Amino acid sequence: MLTAMKVLLVEDEKKIASFVRKGLEAQGFSVTVSDNGDKASELALAGSFDVILLDIMLPGRDGLSILKELRERRNTVPVILLTARSEMNQRVEGLNLGADDYITKPFFMDELLARLRAVVRRTSGETLSVLHSGPLMLNLITREAKYGDEEIIFAPREFSLLEHLMRSPGMVFTRTQLLEQVWGYGFDPQTNLVDVCIRRIREKIDRDGHQFIETVRSVGYRFKQEENRE
Ligand code: CA
């Protein structure tokens, strides 16, 4: 399904561009890299890409203005934003402008591939502003969560952790990965932060026999895929 998909990778950080290009090419994608917003915009508007990975801060035009123009011209090419942790507002703006998803740097190749696959599956061009799993719903724009009709109040970190797991159902994340991806720690603080946060989330969402987050012994955690949960 993914072979020969044409990806436009817009990223001016050379290390990231090279890491992503190699990872995608290893999976059989055809990758065009652009490190400049003006050039990237021309390439994107000329069409012929199956998906665009779009950095926000770029020399020349910024990623959001490229996205805006694409959507104004009714170009529905799937766009995944590559965002920095600090770019929360831009991320929300990007989703509102019609980005299909975003991924926070630094990320793991497996995670990016999971997002790409999900975007490819959603052929309708709908934007991913809401995550669902059975009765559980997270709205990524308003940061509201519901179980059925009932609103669930999460601390910001709990929301982010649950979102992170829910975005890649079935994928196991180690505690170290979660500390890096959700907390932004590049070191192991030698605490059970992750476990405590998982426990708080479970207390709020595990009801009616549902167990959404699975503990993978001596590895980490994963969000159960819907078909496996019954
Ligand atoms: Ca950049």
- Whole-number Å distance, alpha carbon 58 to ligand 1 midpoint, is 5
Q: In CATH, what number does 130-223 get?
A: 1.10.10.10
Tell me: the pLDDT tens digits for 14-73? Answer: 999 999 999 998 887 889 999 999 999 999 998 788 899 999 999 999 999 999 999 999
Query: Is the Cβ–Cβ distance between 53 and 9 less than 8 Å?
Result: yes
Task: Assess whether the previous peptide bond of 106 is cis (omega < 30° from 0).
Answer: yes
* Angstrom distance (rounded) from CA 44 to CA 30: 15
Q: How many helices (H) and strands (E) does the chain have?
A: 9, 12
Q: What is the pLDDT of residue 149?
A: 92
- Whole-number Å distance, alpha carbon 9 to ligand 1 midpoint, is 12
- Whole-number Å distance, alpha carbon 45 to ligand 1 midpoint, is 20
- Whole-number Å distance, alpha carbon 84 to ligand 1 midpoint, is 9
Which helix (H) or strand (E) covers residue 18, if one does? helix 14-26
**Every domain range in the chain assigned CATH 3.40.50.2300:** 2-123
* Angstrom distance (rounded) from CA 230 to CA 226: 8
- 143 φ, ψ to 5°? 60, 30
- Whole-number Å distance, alpha carbon 158 to ligand 1 midpoint, is 28
Q: Which residue stretches of the chain have pLDDT < 50?
A: 1-3, 123-126, 228-230
**Every domain range in the chain assigned CATH 1.10.10.10:** 130-223
Query: Is the Cβ–Cβ distance between 183 and 229 less than 8 Å?
Result: no
The CATH architecture that domain 2-123 belongs to is: 3-Layer(aba) Sandwich (3.40)
Q: What is the pLDDT of residue 1?
A: 36
Coil, strand or helix: which one is 109?
Answer: helix
Q: What is the pLDDT of residue 62?
A: 96
Q: What is the pLDDT of residue 190?
A: 75
